[in-house]
Amino acid sequence: MQNVTELCRYSQKKIIAVVKSDAYGIGVEYIAPLLQGLPQVEAFAVASAEEGVSLREMGIKKEIIILGGILREEVEAIKSYKLTPVVSDREHLELLKGKNVKFHVKYDTGMGRLGFTEDILIRDHRITGIMSHLSTPADREFSLYQIKKFENIVKKYKGSFKIHIESSAGIIYKVPYTTHTRIGLALYGEKPLRNYPINIKPVLELKARVISVKEIPPKHPISYGRTYTAPCKMRIGIVAFGYGDGLIKSLSNRGYLFFEGEKLPIVGNITMDMTIVDLKNSPVCVGDWITVVGPEQSFGDLARCAGTIPYEIMCNISQRVKRKII
């Protein structure tokens, strides 16, 4: 897998593959088995014990790290399925008291979410990893502040641990004292930064079929809310893909779909099951495939147009969208 090879070549570290939220909406049952066979991937990371159990049940043998903490009702599953929780609260330690469960410790160096403050040192023989999380990797000054703060914490621990703070974007800092990178978005070929120095490629294309082609007269409204009115006679295509499939509504009247490389503007509001595009002079027919994400447009491109982040759009891809491995 090229992306894994390139990421490891750049960082010179093994990868903790982040496959939470159904592998960012792509389909964890397709992604995880492929990653398990790669020696560069040493562990997996998911959000919850439930996601971890699902990975075990599909045959994943490598370490599975639970990023989202521990709830009382999850402790037995964590133990039974040999999952590795991340401890970031005193209550997590209480729940694991007397349990033969290895865990990672998380520190809050500036994310303001999960994690201990730097003045707390956990003494426990079950600790196998120490981690933190960069809040704004594009901000070099603050990221270096977090990296230095985390280094001072790591120095207080004696022993051999998985040490990780670098994300898909944070990998650019090549932190010298960490042992692993924790990569999600970049695995799937989406660049987290505009000038990303690593040669990664998208792992998927997202396509939909045209279910109707029609001409409408001037001044004819299009879709719910009549947010678009035809300025002249138009030829439009109705594509069987809407916000129920993952194309967020904020792309209405501003985003594009593609046919054989030609840009087709989205006109009118995106609806649950359908999106309408201006076909112009394109020779689109009923049954043709329209590209939502592919060589012409990444999830990042869609996200910039929608005023959001690629993660949100990827995670919105619904289960009714058929996945096919090529």
Residue 35's pLDDT is: 96
pLDDT-based confidence at residue 194 (cuts at 50, 70, 90)? confident
The catalytic position among 14, 20, 162, 207 is 20
Least Cα distance to 176 among 154, 200, 194, 192 occurs for: 154
What's the token pair of residue 247?
């194309």
Show me where the domains of the chain are located.
2-188, 206-315
The catalytic position among 145, 156, 201, 224 is 224
What's the token pair of residue 37?
């066979």
Cα 45 to Cα 67: distance, rounded to the nearest angstrom: 7
C-alpha 48 chain-centroid distance:
15
Phi–psi pair at 311, nearest 5 degrees: -55, -45
Residue 262's pLDDT is: 95
Does the pLDDT at position 1 exceed 90? no
The string of pLDDT tens digits covering residues 96-141 is 999 999 999 999 999 999 999 888 999 999 999 999 999 999 999 9
Mean model confidence pLDDT for the chain: 96
Give the sheet arrangement for strand 206-216, strand by strand.
Answer: 262-265, 256-259, 289-293, 206-216, 234-239, 275-278
Residue 189's pLDDT is: 94
For the question of residue 188 being annotated catalytic, the response is no
For the question of residue 224 being annotated catalytic, the response is yes
Residue 321's pLDDT is: 93
The arithmetic mean of pLDDT across residues 70-86, rounded, is: 96
What's the token pair of residue 288?
């043709």
Residue 220's pLDDT is: 97
Does the pLDDT at position 304 exceed 90? yes
The string of pLDDT tens digits covering residues 39-56 is 999 999 999 999 999 999
Does the pLDDT at position 278 exceed 90? yes
Residue % of the chain over a pLDDT of 90 = 96
Pick the CATH number of 206-315 from 2.60.120.10, 2.40.37.10, 2.60.40.10, 1.10.10.10: 2.40.37.10
Residue % of the chain over a pLDDT of 70 = 100
pLDDT-based confidence at residue 186 (cuts at 50, 70, 90)? very high
What's the token pair of residue 149?
């703060």
Residue 324's pLDDT is: 87
Question: Looking at the domain that runs over 2-188, which CATH code has it been given?
Answer: 3.20.20.10
Residue 118's pLDDT is: 84
